[in-house]
Structure 1
Amino acid sequence: MGKSRTKRFKRPQFSPTGSCQAEAAAAANGAGEEEDDGPVAEFLEKLQHPSAEVRECACAGLARLVQQSPALPGLARRDAVRRLGPLLLDSSLAVRETAAGALRNLSACGGFEVCDDMVTKDIMTPLVALLKECSAGLDSNEMSPQEKKDQNRNATENIANEAVNVLWNICECSSRAVSIFNKEGCLEIVLKYLSRFSTNVDLAISVAYCLQTVTEDNPDLLKSFSATALHVLESAMVCPASSMEYILLKTLVAGTIWNLKDVIPSKSQAEIINAILKILSEVLEMDAVEVVVQMKEAETQRLKTAAETEDILHNANGDDLMEDEEMEEIPHKRKARKKTFISDLLPPTDKELRETIALLTAQQTALEIIVNMCCSEDPSDDEWEDLSSSDESDAFLETSFSESGGQLLSPLCLSHEIHTALTNFFIPKKVFEKTASPSSIAVDICSRHPPWKPLIRKMNTIQCRALVGLQSLVSLLDVDHLGGAPVLQTLALHLSQLLFAQPDFVKNADFLEAISSALRALLQTMASKSIPQCMTPDQLMSFCKASIHSSNVGVRVNVVSILGITGSVLAKEDGTLETLQTIGCFLLEVATKDPCLVVAGEALDALFDVFADGKEAERASIQIKLLSALKEFQPIFKMKIRKEGRGKYSPDQLCVLNNVKMNLRRFVAYQETVEKRLTP
């Protein structure tokens, strides 16, 4: 259904640390119980407190509160953005960081409207100023007095990381923010941060996310990329993959460079495309299940070792506490409070979990880049295909309606360089492998450990992205490049097993949309090449009956298209009368009763496919009284287009609907000749 664009996904959020954690957690718990916005008012008032520590805790409390949906209206009413904005330039570095964290969470949780409102309330002015100050601070060789006081050598980079995340979220939602990014020279600033990838991979990853967002469909910014800027990206893309986080960084930078393809000299295009797909191939090659198992074992061993070390220390010291003088010998550590454990003296770490998340995110990102590479010139997937089942300018022969093909799928094409690279790096095979359901071993490990449980959703998302990638590749590549007819038949069997292994697949909206799109593309390719299909008509019908009630328009469009493809194949075979009648009745009901004209139009187009040709199709059309049903519906369809069209549908969708309306008139005329010929 056109271009599959990357959707806006929930972003990693800021978590307050230190002495403000308890207050922030209490605020989060209270937010769900309070009907008014009392906690919001209290924290916003404390933002003006003369004590930097109080201001910091207030920001941390707001950072937790904004993750509660009921708190968002109160924050908007009390102008939280205008109150938090000045704190981005607070004299305290800790306040700057927590204020940026609160704004980061607000932009991540609030969605498009909140982000656009943040731009309206001029959050970009202090944000850009903060980014510039951090950039200048990184140039300084000496620590500032405040940094010395806080004993935090990484304070500037930590603040920059939070600020870049705010910038990323807002630019993803607001074209005005992107325009300000362009005008204020933010590119040079964030590239400086990216250049520090060897010492601060977290900051580099945040910048890479931001760059991938702002370089998409932004020709003004692309002109600003100098040879030096491209060199920074190149250096990050070829950096050694010393950890999973660096693998994620390389993948994100590869996505950014893909966005820059229009400014890369044509002589270098093939080389760049090969470099990008080499990285994506290597990422998809990695076994996520193996990584989950290894990382969980490593975490378990690390925690066991830490506990044993703690016991040894405890036994050596008895119940005595460390004296302050002893603590002074351990630089940059907290002094002992009521009881001292070895874990208190070490920075908290969840390295193994972070590494696993980084790999899964890299694989998800790689799949999204592949989809966008395949569909870079097509309309977005919230638009209906701009091609109807026939062109208005073509002569239409009623007696050969089937020649139109009935397909609404836009013809896709790939450049020679991309096509060659996709096949050379075995991308189709690797994408197909990722369509498998998450391993039961990995799911079991993650289920038994709460901090790891969100990884199950991550693995499910990878499967959905792979199914969308499968759709794109099957639509684009020749059958031979996909592995030939046997591979396509195996894929069809695989998709049917995925479907029917999950009795409640209808409840999983993302999975249902992805697999219905993949199945539609696969069946269309197989039908066009006369490759026998592995799924029986009964299986397809049960799938379609279960899915047609989905609230997702894309799913319903896929369902009727699948039946149109199946029916058009069966119409040319003997002994298919009953099945064609069942398909015809189903499509008629969808066409006449679905509230969405897009679905109704696709259902009509599918009917044109099924009953355009073939003796069995002609007999079935008489049995289900197709002609009279369409004649009755024809004026209703025209009226709906006239009344609802301009208010609900885009110009491209209306163009398709008008073509379907014209084809309906022609198909009715064709059916009249069929009925005259077959009716005594």
Structure 2
Amino acid sequence: MGKSQKKRSMRRHNPMRVPDSHLPKGLASASSTSSKTDAILPILQKMESPDAAERKWACVAVSNLIQNDPSTRRLLQGKNIVGALITRLTDSEEEVVVEAVGALRNLCIDGGYDICAEMYNKNILVPLKTFIPKISTTLSQYLDSSTTTPENAQKIVYEFADNVITTLWCLSETSNKALNAINEIHLIPFLMSFLAARDKIPLAPVTAAAHCLYVLTDDNYPAISDVRTDAGYIACLLDIVKSDQVPNGKAKEVSDPRAVTLMVLAAGILRNLSPLPPPTAAGFIDIDKDIVLPLLQPVIASISLPETANTALELVTRLAAEPQLENLSLKNTPKTDHKSQIELELERLEAKMRTVQLALEILTGACATLPDPEIEIPGKDEDDVDEDEDEDLVIVDEADVDMQEDAPQTNGPTTSFLPALVSPLLALIQPTTLSFPPLAAPSPHPPTTSALSAIHISALECLNNVFLSLTTTPNPSVSADHASGRKVWDDIWAALSVVGTETGLGQERRQEMWEVAVGVLWGIGNVWKGSLVPKEEQVKVLIQLCDATSDPRIRVKCIGTLECLAQHPDSIEGNNMISQYLLSILPSGGSPSPAGTEPLIQALSALIDIYSDENMPYDINFRKGGFLNRLVSSVDDVKKAVKAIDRRKEGGRELRRRAEEVRENLVAFIQYRKDLGL
């Protein structure tokens, strides 16, 4: 049962705001689905105009056209708008440069990885690097109390800094190549200068800098090292998380939700840096226990998703009734940030949801407090392993173990903290009316839908790690509370029944919900094994999901969940239905398993576990159904399947080791059942 890990694609405050995977590919389809095709040519022409006012207008128009419109964005991308905007970054007029950066930032946010990769390949970092020292110098001048710079001029610079930093942040998530190139810029002092000046400058560039720091310090040693070597940086981050925005364990309403976002990001950055270096007092702080859990629990409990969805629907209805101004004439040059009050309210709502999503992501890491039961430590070249030499497959590098044992326990709370998270997490997985709209009736506000579905999935991933930790280090008081186990189980299924099983393009989030949820169900089943009744409808759904997916990991989770359900002592019919399905996964007559090798290994392990106690009431199914003969007839085919596992492939060594163990257990189990003579 694997831990849920942080997902880079879901990390941005606006990741893929308008999901477009359901749209057909190609320029022709983009032209046919965009309502603004006629506006594209004038924009492209004016982008190259000798008149600076026209060039500025063209950059602003790009931002206006792509808002919540993936078809137009794709059409512009197909016309090389990225290249044209990057060219404008070296424009002779500063106002054109400012608007070009703003347009590129919006393309990064709305377009996702494809556009970010295109920007990197077209050398956007070359001009962006030149802006860093200029922004730093200007920021220093503004922080000097003697400055007389007009407020409006300062506002433009801060917006420019926000756009540059956000673009760098998005690019750093694009690929390892882009990340390595950004590492070479050594952004840490630049970014930390915004956090240090947070009380004197607007929150927008400060939170953008914190977002960028959070991404850069995630498993990225150069950035981690740069932060850890300066005690002032760590002190600054600690000051942010200790601010009074979330006092006494209760989330306080603040005028700007970015204040809470900043604290959440600071907690995430500190977690990325942990363990904090001695000899400072900070080196003795348990990041998860003392900072992450107390700070983030009230954040995830502070939002009601049904209320949020209803508010968004009300705002969207009011927005539709407002007269829409089309300011795409040169006479009325629109501003990039020209938004109505209702649009700003919708953005604030989305920002709050993205903060909750971010908190969930950090908590997901905190809940992965323990190593997986079986860990494959990278060691010698797998090509050097002989086909039948298995002794080295279980060797673990002792230095790695010593390091894990000696390190301060800053990577997670004890499992006693975990049950307190379950209730708010269960509330966050329940879909709203806006969470999963059918393809036939698209969302009235895609950004809200994107944020809601992301929260549901992030909460499920956090639950996955909670129950994984509770399985790996059992908490007797939790597993003894059967009523709570049944309630948690029922709440997961209640959410899934609302999600439904609609598939196809544009319904990827529904599928993702199921794929993550089945891992949670397996964890719940392990914690409360033997107390959960295998309801026929739920068993059939799990079997259908197992058969429908081509992903062996999802099949393994389904089989693991079924195994737990089959061990309810009094459910003889349910046990038989599950066992018959598990037996159908076994190879027979020289034919391989229809489910694949990894699910086969899990199914065998499940059957052995289910029928290891012949005194259970459901053991009658094993005896009357002739299960022993079925297992005996599969032994040779199982051995072939195990031998066929390629240890040179990723995960192959661990799978081969486990498969060998299960095969040996199968032989021993068969002998045990024969000896019983039942």
CA contact (8 A) 1:422 1:428 kept: no
Separation (CA, whole Å) in 1 of partners of 2:306 and 2:535: 38
Residue in structure 1 matching 2:356, options 363, 367, 370: 363
Matched, 1:495 2:492: yes
- Measure, in 2, the Cα distance between the counterparts of 1:524 and 1:480: 13
CA contact (8 A) 2:367 2:412 kept: no
- The gaps in structure 2 that reach 5 residues or longer are 18-26, 246-253, 324-330, 378-388, 393-403, 588-592
Q: Which residues in structure 2 correspond to 1:113-512 (within 5 Å)? A: 115-116=116-117, 118-141=119-142, 152-198=153-199, 199-225=201-227, 226-241=230-245, 242=254, 243-265=256-278, 267-268=281-282, 269-270=284-285, 272-273=287-288, 274-289=290-305, 292=308, 350-375=343-368, 378=371, 386=376, 423=416, 427-438=420-431, 454-477=447-470, 478-479=474-475, 482=478, 485=481, 486-500=483-497, 503-504=500-501, 508-512=510-514
For the 8 Å contact 2:13–2:355, the answer to whether it is kept is no
In structure 2, the CA distance between the partners of 1:349 and 1:440, relative to structure 1 (3 Å rule), is closer
Matched AA of 2:527: T
Pick aligned residue for 1:547 from 537, 545, 550: 545
Structure 1, residues 262-309: CA drift from partner, whole Å, max 9, x if none? 234385343644133222022123142586389679979999xx99xx
Change (3 A) 1:142 1:195: closer
**Distance in 2 of aligned mates of 1:474 and 1:413:** 25
1:603, CA displacement in angstroms? 2.9
State which of 604, 627, 631 in structure 1 corresponds to 2:631: 627
* Cα distance change on mapping 1:513 and 1:585 into 2, 3 Å: same
In structure 2, the residue corresponding to 1:286 is in which secondary structure?
A: coil
Structure 1 residues 539 and 479, CA, compared in 2 at 3 Å: closer, same or farther?
Answer: farther
Query: Structure 1 CA distance, aligned partners of 2:143 and 2:409?
Result: 52
Q: Deviations over 1:392-418 (max 9, x none)?
A: 779xxxxxxxxxxxxxxxx99997667
Q: Equivalents in 2 of 1:183, 1:488: separation in Å? A: 50
**Separation (CA, whole Å) in 2 of partners of 1:14 and 1:624:** 52
8 Å Cα contact 1:367/1:465 also seen in 2? yes
Question: Which AA in structure 2 matches 1:546?
Answer: Q
Rate the CA distance shift 1:653–1:118 in 2: closer, same or farther, 3 A: farther
2:526 maps to a residue whose letter is Q
Q: List per-residue Cα deviations over 1:196-252 (Å, max 9, x = no partner).
A: 444422222222221111101122222222122223323433445333221122112
Per-residue CA deviations over 1:123-143 (Å, capped at 9, x if unaligned) read 222212223322222223499
Cα gap change, 1:659 to 1:159, in 2 (>3 Å)? same
1: CA distance, partners of 2:171 / 2:675: 63
Residue 264 to residue 291, structure 1, CA distance change in 2 (3 Å): farther
In structure 2, the CA distance between the partners of 1:148 and 1:108, relative to structure 1 (3 Å rule), is same
CA RMSD of aligned residues (A): 5.1
Is the Cα contact below 8 Å between 2:195 and 2:206 reproduced in 1? yes
Q: 1:482 to 1:192 in 2, by over 3 A?
A: farther
Change in Cα spacing, 1:640 to 1:121, as seen in structure 2 (3 Å) is farther
Cα separation, partners in 2 of 1:620 and 1:56, compared to 1, 3 Å:
farther
CA gap of 1:194–1:471, structure 2 versus 1, over 3 A, is: same
Distance 1:439 1:638, change over 3 A: closer
1:435–1:295: structure 2 CA closer, same or farther, 3 Å change rule? closer
Q: Does the aligned pair in 1 maintain the 2:418–2:466 contact within 8 Å?
A: no
* 2:300 maps to amino acid: L
Contact persistence 1:630–1:668 (CA under 8 A): no
Partners in 2 of 1:156 and 1:362 — Cα distance?
25
2:22 maps to what in 1?
none
Q: 1:459 to 1:297 in 2, by over 3 A?
A: closer
Shift of 1:364: 1.5
Larger CA deviation: 87-96 vs 104-113:
104-113
State the SS of the aligned residue for 1:223: helix
Distance 1:581 1:425 in 2: 34
Instruction: Report the CA distance between 1:116 and its aligned residue.
Output: 4.6
Is the CA contact (8 Å cut-off) linking 2:425 and 2:463 kept in structure 1?
A: yes
Rounded to whole Å, the distance in 2 between the matches of 1:112 and 1:33 is: 22
Q: Which moved more, 1:252-261 or 1:180-189?
A: 180-189
Q: CA deviation at 1:86?
A: 4.1
TM-score (norm 2): 0.72
State the match for 2:86 in structure 1. 85
**Structure 1 CA distance, aligned partners of 2:137 and 2:59?**
25
CA gap of 1:293–1:429, structure 2 versus 1, over 3 A, is same
Bigger Cα displacement from structure 2, 226-235 vs 430-439:
430-439
Which is higher, the Rg of structure 1 or of structure 2?
1
Structure 1: how far apart are the matches of 2:605 and 2:267? 40
> Which residues of 2 match residues 471-620 of structure 1 at below 5 A?
471-477=464-470, 478-479=474-475, 482=478, 485=481, 486-500=483-497, 503-504=500-501, 508-527=510-529, 532-533=531-532, 535-548=533-546, 549-567=548-566, 569-570=567-568, 573=569, 576=572, 579-590=574-585, 592=587, 593-594=593-594, 596-614=596-614, 616=619, 618-619=622-623
Residue identity over aligned pairs, in percent, reads 19
* One-letter amino acid of the structure 2 residue matched with residue 137 of structure 1: T
2-structure distance, mates of 1:90, 1:526 = 64
Q: Residues 562, 449 of structure 1: CA spacing in aligned structure 2 closer, same or farther, 3 A cutoff?
A: closer
Q: Which amino acid aligns with 1:525?
A: V
Matches of 1:346 and 1:574, distance apart in 2: 62
1: distance between equivalents of 2:318 and 2:415? 40
**Contact in 1 for aligned 2:264/2:296 (Cα 8 Å):** yes
Using structure 1 for the length normalisation, give the TM-score: 0.72
SS at match of 1:495: helix
Higher helix share: 1
Per the TM alignment, residue 49 of structure 1 is displaced from its structure 2 partner at its CA by 2.9
Q: Which residue of 1 aligns with 2:248?
A: none
In the other structure, the counterpart of 1:663 is 662
Q: Which amino acid aligns with 2:212?
A: C
Higher RCO structure, 1 or 2 (CA under 8 Å, sep 6+)? 2
Is 1:12 aligned with 2:14? yes
Q: 1:60, 1:98 within 8 Å by CA — same for their partners in 2?
A: yes
Q: Which structure 1 residue ranges, 5 or more long, are not aligned?
A: 16-26, 308-336, 339-343, 395-410
Q: Could you tell me whether the CA contact under 8 Å between 1:298 and 1:352 is conserved in 2?
A: no
1:546-597 CA distances to partner (integer Å, 9 max, x unpaired)? 3211355443221011122233x25xx4783x54443233123345555654
Structure 2 SS opposite 1:536: coil
**1:130 counterpart letter in structure 2:** F
Match of 2:401 in 1: none
